[in-house]
Amino acid sequence: MPSLCLTAQQLASLTATSPPHRLRGAVVEGFGRGSKLLGCPTANLDPASFRGLLTDVPRGVYMGWAQVGGAGQPVYKTVLSLGTNPSFADSREDTVESYLLHDFPGDFYGQQIALVIVAFMRPMEKYNGLGPLIKAIERDVRVGDRALDLDQFRAFKEDDRCKSGADSNANSSTSA
């Protein structure tokens, strides 16, 4: 079992989002590179679900909690990116790409996903090649996995957004 200890530098790099950002929408197909190129399959939130929201939120890598399929379903840790992906030239529009720290038996396109985004981890960066990008993603996942077990972040696993099955019109970047 991995250590729950974070280095002082890792902990200092996390900035709690206050209040947390809450999003809900359908999972749509992305560019297809998460699992194929990066070994990190992501659930891509339908851009219509967050268009006009989060305009003042820094683009970067975040961590939080995710639930697929609505109320009563399990809630999982997630590390996600918000913004364009500067390492890829075909990424011009903002995306929300969530990597859930759970092995799913298949895709879940079309299902609803609820996200509670609790902390900023780092800004987006452009990497020179897939190797450095994959290492950064692996580091983000390790740090997020450990940090989400800390009391200050674990409490959001029980967030009403995931438990209530609230509709997709209730997206916000404020407390709900």
At 25-42, the pLDDT tens digits run: 999 987 666 556 566 788
Residue spans per domain, the chain: 14-163
Is the pLDDT score of 161 beyond 70?
no
Catalytic residue (one of 97, 125, 138, 158): 97
Residue 159 zone, left/alpha/beta (φ > 0; ψ -120 to 50; rest): beta
Pick from 161, 173, 176: nearest CA to 52: 173
Count Cβ atoms within 10 A of the Cβ of residue 167 and give its class: 0-12 exposed, 13-18 middle, 19 or more buried: exposed
Q: What is the pTM of this model?
A: 0.83
Tell me which residue of 2, 141, 116 sits closest to 61, measured CA to CA: 141
Compute the distance between CA of residue 147 and CA of residue 90 in angstroms, rounded to an integer: 32
- Which tens digit of pLDDT belongs to each residue from 78-130? 999 998 876 666 667 888 999 999 988 888 899 999 999 999 999 988 888 88
Strand partners, 44: 28, 97
Paired sense of beta strands 95-100 and 43-45, if any: antiparallel
162 pLDDT higher than 70: no
Q: Tokens for 106?
A: 């298949």
Domain 14-163, what architecture? Beta Barrel (2.40)
User: Would you call 97 a catalytic residue per the annotation?
Assistant: yes
